Amino acid sequence: MTDTTIMTLIIVAYLVIVAVIGLAGTKLITGSDDFMLAGRRLGPFMVIAGLTATHIGGGAVMGVSEDSYVFGVSGVAYSAGTALGLILLGVLSAKKLRSLSLRTITDYLALRYNSKLVRGLASGLSIVAVTGIVAAQVNAAGGALAILGIDPTVGAVVAVTLFIAYTVFAGMWGVALTDAVQVLIVVIGVPIAAIAGLRAAGGFEGLRTFVESSSDIVTADYFSPVGMGVMAMLGIITPVVMYDLIGQDFYQRLFSARSAAIARGSAIVAGLLLLVFAIFPVIGGMSARALFSDLENSSSALPTLITEVLPIGLAAVIVAAILAAVMSTADSLLIAGSTHITNDFYREIMGRDPDGDSKRTLVVARVWTLILGVAALVFALSVPGIITVLALAYTMYASGVFVPVIGGLLWPRATRAGALAAIIAGSVGGLAGVFGLVDYGSVPEVVVGGGVSLIAFVVVSLLTKPADEKVGEELRQELAAEA
């Protein structure tokens, strides 16, 4: 039996076990709120694992190792953004918004600005964003399976089928249970693989020798913390930080926490954990470049390293855990998207089952989870590159929604008209740059979009009056009491 066959069998067995664990959550679901929020019963370990797993799959492991394979030390940009974003999330808003017992971040926007239109616009942008981010995870899964000789397209289809299967049935409970398993293995296994890979490459001196002898790598840039360029790094870090502060997938984890205090502490701890973990995918990607400089698919850099420098059994478990972590990121995003559709559009805007938790609403959530998963697969096959897709998705959402959310928390004078203007102006500004309609030079599109959004938010708010001062004042008092 060949090593590839052994690895394939171990990975398949691992994924089957994970699927069984995930499906066990089905027994805990009695209605749509259990499906979307795990009944708001998650303790600190489960919330920390969930927040960490949301980033540690396609982005902070596969994406960072891919960027580090190409750019070197500066590939850490994405992980730096995730860590900073989660820490700020814990400090600024986690406790405040969890105390309101919301289902979505757009519940807050609708409450703060007393507007269904604000809810609808923000939810629509969020759905597009989470679908794009799921697509990035699909690309990452395809890259992980490529080391088994599986075509990345076929691997992407297999991965989507697996994570849709247990997400549709088990919802947030299934996601939370599988996250706890994945995170423990990944945060232990990836550092082991990175250190083993570095030793195989001859240590840091061996890396430097390889880079100096390579005609296609600039040594100073490869070992520089800003090697890919300051503006390029800001183009990765800025949208990630902004998205962490407004992303439905993160707030859904926080809203599932047992208490507001658990939500706040978990976000901060998860950010610190990602900060410590960040260096290992970078080392892994750089070591893979030294050992396997001719990889056709740079997204398979870390899985290739793992399989080559570790014993076959341990390598298979770690690769399987990374693949499962990628799927855990994807499944939480699918639930985030279907929650927007179910809660914001079906319940609130359309007025169906506004106060209850009916079985029909649960069916709606499951159907839309399936639809969004298929849409993400189509997107993934159309746009290559993990970090590229992530940055695109983050920019689309963060450009328009970041200012109304954070501005609404920090500035009492903000109005409904100001929020609407900010969403529209920011989204248009960000997307104009993304699709090349306007050339912003080296300035990240999300920075321009966010700046346009902020100007529109402030100017229009100052020119208009709050739509319902009583509603705004009651919310401000409640938030102040929880601060």
Band of the pLDDT at 473, cuts 50, 70, 90?
Answer: low
Q: What CATH superfamily classification does 3-385 receive?
A: Sodium/glucose cotransporter (1.20.1730.10)
Q: What are phi and psi of 257, to 5 degrees?
A: -70, 155
443 within 8 A of 470, measured Cβ to Cβ: no
- Measure the CA–CA gap between 226 and 220, rounded to whole angstroms: 10
Q: Look at 424 and 378; give whichever has higher pLDDT.
A: 424
pLDDT, tens digit, for every residue of 328-353? 777 778 889 999 999 999 989 988 87
Name, in order, each residue with C-beta under 8 angstroms of 62's C-beta and a sequence gap of 6 or more. 140, 143, 144, 281, 299, 302, 322, 326, 386
DSSP 316-363: HHHHHHHHHHHHHHHHHHHHHHHHIIIIIIIIIIS-SSSS---HHHHH
279 within 8 A of 76, measured Cβ to Cβ: yes
Please choose, from the candidates 355, 265, 256, 318, the residue with its C-alpha nearest in 3D space to the C-alpha of residue 10. 318
Q: Among 41-55, 210-224, 234-248, 372-386, name the one with the lowest average pLDDT.
A: 372-386
Statement: residue 390 has pLDDT above 80: no
Q: pTM of this prediction?
A: 0.86
Q: What are phi and psi of 42, to 5 degrees?
A: -80, 135
Q: Look at 316 and 199; give whichever has higher pLDDT.
A: 199
Q: Which residues of 276-293 are buried (b: 16+ CB within 10 A; e: fewer)?
A: ebbbbbbbbbbbbbbbbe
- Measure the CA–CA gap between 281 and 123, rounded to whole angstroms: 33
Give helix then strand counts, H and E, for the chain: 22, 0
> Tokens for 311?
């014993």
Band of the pLDDT at 291, cuts 50, 70, 90?
Answer: very high
Q: How many residues does the chain have?
A: 483
Statement: residue 273 has pLDDT above 80: yes
Calculate mean pLDDT across residues 437-450: 88
- Measure the CA–CA gap between 394 and 74, rounded to whole angstroms: 20
